[in-house]
């Protein structure tokens, strides 16, 4: 009944997940970053596991949004972008995309973009 009132303490304490099952879920969903700092105990708190997964999805969404925004800006700035450049942007790390974002006003060609992200 407490849960309906917003008190999740009992749920938080009782709901455990087998560590291996969490690892399998991370592999299936393609979120291997979730398991890099995973505690070594046999069970993990399910709420903790779900929060790790949610954070992974949020990070993935932010990265995808940054890529899409940069692609749109480059289309406006350059007129069009090649499929090669689009692929390079899709594979670029967050760090490279951040560098590209900071230098967006200096870009005059696709070569400029490729130089920045490589």
Retrieve residue 114's tokens. 């490729």
Helix (H, G, I), strand (E, B) or coil at 73: helix
Q: What is the mean pLDDT of each run of 10 residues along the chain (118 residues)?
A: 56 66 78 70 66 76 90 94 94 92 94 92
The CA dihedral of 59, 60, 61, 62, to the nearest 10 degrees, is 50
Q: Tell me, what's the pLDDT at 28?
A: 84
Distances (CA, A) of 118 to 38, 68, 72, 77, 97: 32, 19, 20, 20, 10
Tell me the residue range of the domain where 110 lies.
2-117
Number of domains in the chain: 1
Instruction: Give the pLDDT confidence of 48-80 residue by residue, as tens digits.
Output: 667 777 777 787 888 899 999 999 999 999 999
Q: Tell me, what's the pLDDT at 106?
A: 94
Q: Tell me, what's the pLDDT at 62?
A: 86
């Amino acid at each position: 009944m407490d849960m309906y009132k917003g008190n999740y303490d009992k749920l938080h304490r009782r709901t455990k997940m087998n560590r291996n099952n969490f690892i399998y879920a991370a592999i299936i969903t393609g979120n291997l970053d979730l398991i890099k700092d995973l505690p070594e105990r046999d069970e993990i708190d399910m709420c903790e596991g779900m929060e790790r997964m949610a954070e992974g999805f949020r990070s993935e969404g932010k990265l995808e949004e940054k890529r899409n925004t940069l692609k749109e800006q480059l289309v406006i700035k350059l007129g069009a972008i090649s499929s090669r450049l689009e692929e390079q942007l899709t594979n670029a790390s967050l760090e490279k995309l951040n560098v590209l974002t900071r230098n967006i006003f200096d870009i005059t060609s696709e070569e400029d973009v490729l130089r920045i992200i490589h």
